[in-house]
Chain A
Amino acid sequence: MILAQQQYLEEFDWFVDRWWTAWLGGDVLFLLGKVVLIFAFLLVSVMLMVWFERKVVSDMQHRIGPNVAGPWGILQTLADGIKLFFKEDITPDGADKRIFKLAPYLSLIPAFLMFSVVPIGGDFRNGDGATNFFWGDIPFRLQLVDPPMGILLFLAMSGLGIYGVMLAGWASGSKYPLLGSVRASAQMVSYEAALGLSLATIFLVSGSLRTSEIVAAQTGGALFVGGWNIWGLGFVPFVIFLIAGTAELNRPPFDLVEAEQELVGGFHTEYSSLRFSLFFLAEFMNVVTMAGIIVTLFFGGPDGPVLTETLGWAWGMLWFFLKVLVFLFIFVWFRATLPRLRYDQLMDLGWKVLIPIALGWFIVIAAREVADVEGWPVIPATLIAFVLVFGLGAPLLMGAVKNARRQRLESEIVEYG
């Protein structure tokens, strides 16, 4: 025991030494610089995203939209933010004070952390994506971290984000926020299953959880776009991911969480001033992150034509931002055109449509990969799996659902006449 303690103390000394050399060597400073850059990028993108959303929605409704603060009203969000900052911060009497104050941060911090695994640039033609500039001999990736768990960090953080919403509603000590938060957490937990199942197909084809390797596996296809996962996986996982992702973000048409007509403002009804703006910030940050994740998983991330050799990594950045912009527009488009779902429709869509299809498609893709590895003819194997799953499994499931509904209706008739 004493021996072990001594060993620990020696290790601790060593650690302190190493810490300072690492600091002076620039590793820590370098990482901190990356953190600050990503933080600033997310804050600015939220500011622009709110403006973009208001402007696009107003265009679609033949209105002008924000046009006073700055050119084209681009500073409107900043003005709103300053106004929110100076408003009175109210904590309701019935609130659980500590959790009421904790909840906005539980929403915000996962939103930040999620973006840390998204590669926002880099030249992936050599299958690595590591770039060296400035320091010359330190190759690094244009993403905050690249842990082996990779995209699972995104799932874990979106799971933690539920706590912010759930506790905010509960801690407010009021009925409407509580209803909103119960709806929100049920919705987010349900759609997380569909999200995870459509992700699993990507793990199958790229053979890794690391985002950088997922992107590297998608490069080098025909016409720059041939290798992207959206083609290789046959659209279905992408569509499921997009729908489940929109539901996970609590955005229209899945915004039952804050349905104004029914729940005043949903889980954040009782919040005001800066605490309210933190929820707002987290919500829009999640939108930007979800667009980034979709681009990374299905559209090759920063993959695209590299036109000049000198700034190879910068082209990746350009393509990434253009692709993200397309998805941000699609999210706004959803909001402007689709009416809100009813709660039972939402749950039916999640559990009876998206999850079974995602699972079935996963089996088909798995059959294809197994045939590929074992040297069997790939197309017949995939077709057989497809017919088994969607020709035999799907009718069975639909029959079971129909039967259950009939029995339920009958029992209700027996009970209530």
Chain B
Amino acid sequence: MGLQLFSFLIAGVIIVAGALGVVLSKHPVHAALFLIQTLFGVAVEFLVVEAHFLAAIQVIVYAGAIVILFLFVIMLLGVDNAEDLSIEPIIGQRPLAALSGAAIFGLLMTVIFSASSGGRITGEGSVSLALDATDPTGEVLPNVEQLAQVIFTDMVFAFEVTAILLTVAVVGAVVMARRIPGALQPLPEVLPIGEFSTEDQGESTAVAATEEGEEH
């Protein structure tokens, strides 16, 4: 258990430092990088409690896909410059955020202290319970197999509902990205310099004439 504690403490420091970095850094890209640090620390904590599959999925899904998308949006929208943090977009947002933050902190502390009266506070009880599953020959199954068994037997309904939820989200994104015919104003026709379309020649000539007039 000694190594477990040691790894837990180091990963905890990494997680908290990353979380502080997300909140405190002024640049969105830096904040996203600190978020990766936090997610990575959480993956290490999963490894500490022998949840190898969760650790791998944590890195693949969160660090490898979701934060990449964050960075994509930041880069493509060009939110490069540090935002002015003195402006409050929604009035009363900050005090409310502080209040709910304090409430969540208090709730977590209550849970931890009520659990610690029973001994451990690292949530070992639930973890070791799951590690007890055995195969027909009586050998303790590896974590990946145990997780698979739970997901596809006891939790299969929740699992499938989550899949449907994700599908609905994808369909929603496609619908929102879809271009509805005729909804946009047609773009003005761009003609090479010196050429006019046959239909509205008079108008174009008039425009060209005024432009020339302005130049002179």
Contact = CB atoms under 8 A, between A and B. Distances in A.
Contact of A189 (B2, B57, B68, B186): B68
Contacts, number: 110
A8 B27 CA distance: 38
Contacts of A410: 181
Contacts of B196: none
A212 to B, nearest CB: 13
Most-contacted residue by chain B among A156, A166, A181 (CB, 10 A): A156
Contact of B75 (A4, A14, A152, A178): A178
Interface size class of A (residues with CB under 8 A): 35 or more
B63 interface: yes
Contacts of A3: 119
Interface string B107-123: 00000010010011100
Contact of A156 (B29, B59, B71, B189): B59
A412 to B, nearest CB: 9
Given A148-B52, A415-B181, A416-B187, A12 B63 contact: no
B5 A156 contact: no
Interface size class of B (residues with CB under 8 A): 35 or more
A199 to B, nearest CB: 11
A389 interface: no
Interface in A366-417: 408, 410-411, 414-417
Contacts of B72: 182, 185-186
A15 interface: yes
Contacts of A414: 181-182
Given A4-B120, A411-B181, A12 B6 contact: yes
A149 B147 CA distance: 12
B63 A159 contact: yes
Contacts of A162: 64, 68
Contacts of A186: 72
Interface in A142-191: 147-149, 152-153, 155-156, 158-160, 162-163, 166-167, 170, 178, 181-182, 185-186, 189
A147 B52 contact: yes
Contact of A1 (B5, B63, B116, B189): B116
A209 interface: yes
B59 A159 contact: yes
Contacts of B120: 4
Given A99-B29, A148-B144, A170-B29, A155 B5 contact: no
A97 to B, nearest CB: 12
Contact of B63 (A96, A147, A160): A160
B3 interface: yes
A415 B187 contact: yes
Contact of A18 (B2, B60, B179, B187): B2
B1 interface: yes
Interface string A53-79: 000000000000000000000000000
Interface of A: 1, 3-4, 8, 11-12, 14-16, 18-19, 96, 98-99, 102, 147-149, 152-153, 155-156, 158-160, 162-163, 166-167, 170, 178, 181-182, 185-186, 189, 192, 209, 408, 410-411, 414-417
Given A147-B52, A152-B53, 7 more contacts: A8-B5, A12-B5, A15-B6, A99-B29, A149-B55, A156-B64, A163-B68
Q: 5 tightest A-B contacts by CB? A: A15-B2, A159-B64, A152-B56, A156-B59, A411-B181
Interface of B: 1-3, 5-6, 27, 29-30, 33, 36, 52-53, 55-57, 59-60, 63-65, 68, 71-72, 75-76, 113, 116, 119-121, 142-144, 179-182, 184, 186-187, 189
8 contacts: A14-B1, A148-B144, A156-B63, A159-B65, A159-B68, A166-B68, A167-B33, A167-B71
